[in-house]
A and B are shown apart, each in its own frame.
Chain A
């Protein structure tokens, strides 16, 4: 038997500010799709200047990817270092206090300082270079700064055009948090762009019951479930805008949502406008009431799917090369 023949599944790039648990659920959903060989999670980057957020996202990524191995590395956490870090939800901090039966931490936070992270735009560029032609896509849930900065790197615009097929943007409010970046991405992103308005997420809230039943049944001590449970008082139904974006981006041919073509612009007042037109270069999604149950079932099934570690053809390294040397006194 030979491995490595043909193109692998499309690479998914996910960039978010992780202001809501929706984004963590979207990461879980993408990994669920990866488990079904429908995509490969290329890299997850953080558009918020906050080490706690980057630390949690990094931990979740390591949870899904398993330890670093020979010829199979875990990408470093990419985190922006400009802008306001904002308030961090207890969902991204409290799980770190959980202990195993032997008293050791259940989840290890390896991000203590900026040096433990990488520049997100550089990471996006680097991982994009490793994608086949038109065999990747982007999901953006938050301000567009990381993508906009990457566009300014030499050759990246051509690379995006050559290697990726589409960009799906989740939510309007967070996207507009950096108006410069929003305008730049809208004007210069060289692939089709789809918008998922916040209403789509509000219309199909994530069921708290899935956190309590499906997640633990499939994977004990799931860090996304732990974050959800600590995010706010359970039970609650989180908005699912980022989940919708991730699902649509990966399964574009499945009729989960209604799609309308038009043009999106950022006005002088900083608000987003959408004008429907057949010749527009953007697409906007809306909920199809008849498909709500189908969409919800897909969210739960994929986000809570049993974790499948990436296949390896060589034994894992004895030592994880990612080390944080202590600061000398």
Chain B
């Protein structure tokens, strides 16, 4: 006779005040004597700006991934989880009579597959594919989607040859005129993720600050109660999960303290770390937690905005990223771009590692994810919109046969990949953007995508 009651998938640790912490997938959530509940598939997009040095991105071979190209070396330990896809194209990123402005177009249309309107005031795009999915499955999680980023940028004005900044500074679009600006501040994200949704009163904020209490302290009673009902595996999993939240909290506190000391007038939200890698780590740790606790299944992440001229002094590169990419085939400038490309991948690899080492069911959290890392331009010097740098990391619920370099036919719409991903997310649609079909064959080992 089955008497044990399963823990709901969307259970929270609740506490006094405004704390509400979602839980990771626990064995206790699978009803006893029934096959284990299937973990949901999640997807995330990591967009890097200004294209890529393609000679260091594309492998010189096809088939099984062996020697990783230079830019992707940081992902070498995870190559068995990577599908390196060639020849995907965004035709809507091209000029198509609209003249200059490849940066504005390529990011604006990256997730929409729509030719954006060249205008500073009359914003017109399409609903991005992450939001199409969010509209279908978003009700199953606390947040239908999360939009995150790293670079503070204005939302109004001209960011590229007459294209509004809304196109370069956002990936996700709720409607054809409404972008979803990314959250940059880790503290804001933390409070969004672990708050109850109710704003904290000034008194509560003051009390939390005064006693420097962790969010975990507020849910300690609930935590103890839950732990008493869990088996040893779940107990360990819960402890690891709560530790990771505590670690994020400490990182945010450290960043806020450092910021206050370094430059109180800096043009950044209070909690944004000055260090790029530290900022990424914080944001990506929270992304991992959001996926682990099934708080959302959809994340878009704008590493820096398209056309970004951020210098990378941490790499000894004082030049702006975008100007460098118009390198005119000068070896020294090209080398600097390669270093920046690799640096970005290095950050992403730390997130992949976190996902890979987080257990979920019989496998890893990464097994149930589709992480797209890519750019809206390939060769930035020539502003090419074909053969866009694209890797898919994770097996999307043990669907994709990863560990390979596969080629689509030339000019295959990127939206074909999106249609396939929508299927995996349980949100199939007949048509999207400029797709001419689904990107078939990614579940078949050794098959070209012809």
**Which of A's residues lie within 8 Å of B, judged by CB?**
4, 68-71, 73, 76, 81, 113-119, 121-123, 125-126, 129-132, 153-154, 315, 317-319, 321, 325-328
Q: How far is the CB of A130 from chain B (nearest CB, A)?
A: 5
B63 pairs with A321, CB closer than 8 A: no
B115 pairs with A129, CB closer than 8 A: yes
List, in ascending order, chain A residues with CB within 8 A of B306's CB: none
- From B59, B63, B387, B436, give the contact of A119 (CB < 8 A): B436
- From B63, B383, B408, give the contact of A115 (CB < 8 A): B408
Give the distance in Å from the alpha carbon of A116 to the alpha carbon of B448 in the complex.
Answer: 12
Q: How far is the CB of B59 from chain A (nearest CB, A)?
A: 7
Interface set, chain B 101-119, CB cutoff 8 A to A: 115
Q: How far is the CB of A326 from chain B (nearest CB, A)?
A: 6
Q: Is B413 an interface residue (CB 8 A)?
A: yes
Please judge, given known A-B contacts A129-B96, A130-B97, A321-B379, whether A116 and B410 are in contact too, CB under 8 Å: yes
Please judge, given known A-B contacts A70-B381, A154-B431, whether A317 and B329 are in contact too, CB under 8 Å: yes
Please judge, given known A-B contacts A70-B382, A130-B94, whether A321 and B387 are in contact too, CB under 8 Å: yes
Give the distance in Å from the alpha carbon of A317 to the alpha carbon of B407 in the complex.
Answer: 24
A325 pairs with B411, CB closer than 8 A: no
A130 pairs with B384, CB closer than 8 A: no
Interface size in chain B (residues, C-beta < 8 A): 41
A325 pairs with B62, CB closer than 8 A: yes
B410 pairs with A327, CB closer than 8 A: no
List, in ascending order, chain A residues with CB within 8 A of B448's CB: 113-115
Residue of A nearest to B63 (CB): A328
Residue of A nearest to B99 (CB): A4
Residue of B nearest to A121 (CB): B436
Q: How far is the CB of A67 from chain B (nearest CB, A)?
A: 12
B382 pairs with A327, CB closer than 8 A: no
- From A117, A126, A130, A153, give the contact of B409 (CB < 8 A): A117
B63 pairs with A327, CB closer than 8 A: yes
List, in ascending order, chain B residues with CB within 8 A of A113's CB: 448, 450
B382 pairs with A115, CB closer than 8 A: no
List, in ascending order, chain B residues with CB within 8 A of A328's CB: 61-64, 66
B384 pairs with A114, CB closer than 8 A: no
Q: How far is the CB of B325 from chain A (nearest CB, A)?
A: 12
Number of cross-chain contacts by CB at 8 Å: 92
Please judge, given known A-B contacts A130-B97, A153-B436, whether A118 and B411 are in contact too, CB under 8 Å: yes
A76 pairs with B411, CB closer than 8 A: yes
Residue of A nearest to B64 (CB): A328
Give the distance in Å from the alpha carbon of A126 to the alpha carbon of B99 in the complex.
Answer: 16
Q: How far is the CB of A110 from chain B (nearest CB, A)?
A: 11
List, in ascending order, chain B residues with CB within 8 A of A73's CB: 382, 384, 386
List, in ascending order, chain B residues with CB within 8 A of A319's CB: 55, 329
Residue of B nearest to A129 (CB): B96
Q: How far is the CB of A329 from chain B (nearest CB, A)?
A: 9
B413 pairs with A122, CB closer than 8 A: yes
| Subset of 8 A-B contacts with CB under 8 Å | A70-B383, A115-B448, A119-B436, A121-B436, A122-B412, A126-B434, A325-B59, A325-B407
Please judge, given known A-B contacts A326-B61, A328-B62, A328-B63, whether A317 and B381 are in contact too, CB under 8 Å: yes
Q: How far is the CB of A268 from chain B (nearest CB, A)?
A: 32
A129 pairs with B91, CB closer than 8 A: yes
Q: How far is the CB of A218 from chain B (nearest CB, A)?
A: 31
Interface of A is mostly: loop
Please judge, given known A-B contacts A119-B411, A119-B436, whether A318 and B387 are in contact too, CB under 8 Å: no
List, in ascending order, chain A residues with CB within 8 A of B64's CB: 328
In the A-B complex, the 8 residue pairs with the closest CB atoms:
A328-B61, A118-B411, A76-B410, A118-B410, A126-B91, A114-B450, A328-B63, A318-B329
Give the distance in Å from the alpha carbon of A33 to the alpha carbon of B384 in the complex.
Answer: 28
List, in ascending order, chain A residues with CB within 8 A of B410's CB: 76, 115-118
B436 pairs with A81, CB closer than 8 A: no
**Which of B's residues lie within 8 Å of A, judged by CB?**
54-55, 58-64, 66, 87, 91, 94-97, 99, 115, 328-329, 378-379, 381-384, 386-387, 407-413, 431, 434, 436, 448-450
List, in ascending order, chain B residues with CB within 8 A of A318's CB: 329
Q: How far is the CB of A78 from chain B (nearest CB, A)?
A: 8
B383 pairs with A71, CB closer than 8 A: yes
- From B60, B62, B382, B412, give the contact of A321 (CB < 8 A): B382
List, in ascending order, chain B residues with CB within 8 A of A154's CB: 431
List, in ascending order, chain B residues with CB within 8 A of A115's CB: 87, 407-410, 448-450
List, in ascending order, chain B residues with CB within 8 A of A76's CB: 386, 410-411
List, in ascending order, chain A residues with CB within 8 A of B407's CB: 115, 325
Give the distance in Å from the alpha carbon of A81 to the alpha carbon of B450 in the complex.
Answer: 9
Q: How far is the CB of B403 from chain A (nearest CB, A)?
A: 13
Give the distance in Å from the alpha carbon of A113 to the alpha carbon of B329 in the complex.
Answer: 30
B409 pairs with A119, CB closer than 8 A: yes
List, in ascending order, chain B residues with CB within 8 A of A317's CB: 329, 379, 381-382
Q: How far is the CB of A33 from chain B (nearest CB, A)?
A: 22
Give the distance in Å from the alpha carbon of A129 to the alpha carbon of B96 in the complex.
Answer: 6
Give the distance in Å from the alpha carbon of A238 to the alpha carbon of B54 in the complex.
Answer: 45
Please judge, given known A-B contacts A71-B383, A153-B436, whether A325 and B58 are in contact too, CB under 8 Å: yes
List, in ascending order, chain A residues with CB within 8 A of B115's CB: 129
List, in ascending order, chain A residues with CB within 8 A of B91's CB: 126, 129
- From B60, B87, B408, B411, give the contact of A126 (CB < 8 A): B411
Q: How far is the CB of A22 from chain B (nearest CB, A)?
A: 27
List, in ascending order, chain A residues with CB within 8 A of B386's CB: 73, 76
List, in ascending order, chain A residues with CB within 8 A of B450's CB: 81, 113-115
Give the distance in Å from the alpha carbon of A24 to the alpha carbon of B138 in the complex.
Answer: 54
List, in ascending order, chain B residues with CB within 8 A of A116's CB: 410
Residue of A nearest to B98 (CB): A130
- From A4, A131, A132, A325, give the contact of B60 (CB < 8 A): A325
Give the distance in Å from the alpha carbon of A131 to the alpha carbon of B94 in the complex.
Answer: 12
Q: How far is the CB of A201 from chain B (nearest CB, A)?
A: 32
Please judge, given known A-B contacts A115-B408, A126-B91, A317-B329, whether A326 and B60 are in contact too, CB under 8 Å: yes
List, in ascending order, chain A residues with CB within 8 A of B378's CB: 321
Residue of A nearest to B382 (CB): A70
Residue of A nearest to B58 (CB): A325
List, in ascending order, chain B residues with CB within 8 A of A71's CB: 382-383
List, in ascending order, chain B residues with CB within 8 A of A153's CB: 436
Residue of A nearest to B436 (CB): A122
List, in ascending order, chain B residues with CB within 8 A of A70's CB: 381-383
Residue of B nearest to A127 (CB): B91
Give the distance in Å from the alpha carbon of A115 to the alpha carbon of B115 in the complex.
Answer: 26
Q: How far is the CB of A70 from chain B (nearest CB, A)?
A: 5
- From A114, A119, A132, give the contact of B97 (CB < 8 A): A132
Q: How far is the CB of A194 from chain B (nearest CB, A)?
A: 26
